[in-house]
Amino acid sequence: MRQNFTVRQGALDRVEVFLSVAEHRSFSRAAAELGVSSSAISQAVRALETRVGAALFIRTTRNVWLTEAGEHFLSRAKPAFEELVSASEVACDLGRPPAGLLRLLVPRAVVPTLLEPLIASFCQAYPEIEVEITTSGELVDVVADGFDAGIRLGQFIAPDMIVVQLTPPFPLVVVGSPDYLRTRKPPERIDDLRQHACLRMRHSDGSIAPWPFIFRNKAVEAIVSGPLISNDLPTLLGAALQGLGLVQVPGPLVKTQVAERRLEALLTPFAATTPGVFLCYPSRRHVLPRLRAFIEHAKTRSGRSHKGQHSR
């Protein structure tokens, strides 16, 4: 026969006390964390043990251990209590506009063409949110470095991240300036790059990126050489505009320069396609309201969305 069991007044407070004592293995440290006296902690634990019908801790003058019943209670109570706290936070957040500091990690190359319009419209729509943008050419760990989200090319996203697609797929194009091509024959085949000065990107792991292409419906990589290596794409693009050599870049980054004939697109029949640019953030049950607002705003601005596990 199922016993009727209801949550009595103060029961959740006792669970919070139990979880704090179990974490610290100390009544005094739990009291300090919760801002109450040690005697109040002891009373709450005794009341919970009476309610449960089993001892949850073994206490000595120096140490505190969980009993077997306490271990079982902890395994079930901790996730349930955290879910209740999360539900309370979500309900509270729904009652007020998003606010606070939103920290984004962004490749410097996407800022002018993609991020500036998005950020401007977002700041106007959500004046209570402060946006902090850190630009980097390195593949910095979004979570470990304390960022709320990152913006990256699709092929550089960890598989456990949630993603929102900001752009459609686009080609990687090889471009060169008219000044550079004035004294060099434009490459017509991938192998022709051996006779050209190619400006190269160095990855955060120290390797130099090959140039990807599609040849006869198969992906191939060209190992190129040239006078300049950098971990920063805008630096390489600036050098190409100055006539130093050829560079391979995402198509949207040079759309204006190609249209204005400051750069010429080369080897276009062999251009590889990337998945596009994505907003990525860690998989969590509760997304902060300021990040949720940015996600929804980005979806609206991009005109398309893609949320779920990133797969290769």
**Same domain, yes or no: 118 and 150:** yes
3-state secondary structure (DSSP) of residue 184: coil
**Same domain, yes or no: 105 and 252:** no
Residues 188-202: tens digit of each pLDDT: 999 999 999 999 998
**Same domain, yes or no: 286 and 164:** yes
**Same domain, yes or no: 182 and 119:** no
**Same domain, yes or no: 128 and 258:** no
CATH for 218: 3.40.190.290
**Structure tokens belonging to residue 284:** 């969590």
Residues 49-73: tens digit of each pLDDT: 998 899 999 988 788 999 999 999 9
- H-type helices in the chain, by residue range? 11-24, 27-34, 38-52, 68-94, 116-125, 178-181, 233-241, 255-259, 289-302
**Domain C-terminal end among 74, 94, 114:** 94
Q: Is 307 within the bounds of a domain?
A: no
**Domain C-terminal end among 34, 63, 94:** 94
| Count of Cβ atoms closer than 10 Å to residue 119 Cβ | 18
Q: Is 5 within the bounds of a domain?
A: no
Q: Is 115 within the bounds of a domain?
A: yes
Q: Is 2 within the bounds of a domain?
A: no
3-state SS string for 11-56: HHHHHHHHHHHHHHCCHHHHHHHHCCCHHHHHHHHHHHHHHHCCCC
* pTM for the predicted model, two decimal places: 0.61
**Same domain, yes or no: 138 and 285:** yes
* CA separation for the pair 94, 71 (Å, rounded): 35
**Same domain, yes or no: 142 and 219:** no
Q: What pLDDT does residue 2 have?
A: 37
**Same domain, yes or no: 181 and 264:** yes
Q: Is 308 within the bounds of a domain?
A: no
Residues 75-96: tens digit of each pLDDT: 998 888 888 877 776 666 656 7
The pLDDT-based confidence of 157 (bands split at 50, 70, 90) is low
**Same domain, yes or no: 109 and 202:** no
pLDDT at 5 over 50: no
pLDDT at 305 over 70: no
CATH for 16: 1.10.10.10
Tallying the residues shown for the chain, one arrives at 312
Strands 170-176 and 273-274: antiparallel
User: Which range has the top average pLDDT, 79-83, 133-137, 268-272, 280-284?
Assistant: 268-272
Domain of residue 258: give its range: 170-274
CATH for 116: 3.40.190.10
pLDDT at 19 over 70: yes
Q: Is 152 within the bounds of a domain?
A: yes
Q: Which residue has the higher pLDDT, 143 or 35?
A: 35
**Same domain, yes or no: 155 and 198:** no
**Domain C-terminal end among 55, 70, 94:** 94
Q: Is 142 within the bounds of a domain?
A: yes
User: Which range has the top average pLDDT, 24-38, 86-100, 272-286?
Assistant: 24-38
Q: Is 38 within the bounds of a domain?
A: yes
pLDDT at 8 over 70: no
| Count of Cβ atoms closer than 10 Å to residue 19 Cβ | 17
**Same domain, yes or no: 181 and 86:** no
Q: What pLDDT does residue 69 have?
A: 92
pLDDT, averaged across the chain? 84
Number of domains in the chain: 3
Residues 201-224: tens digit of each pLDDT: 988 778 899 999 999 999 999 999
Q: Stretch 277-300: mean pLDDT, rounded?
A: 82
**Same domain, yes or no: 174 and 135:** no
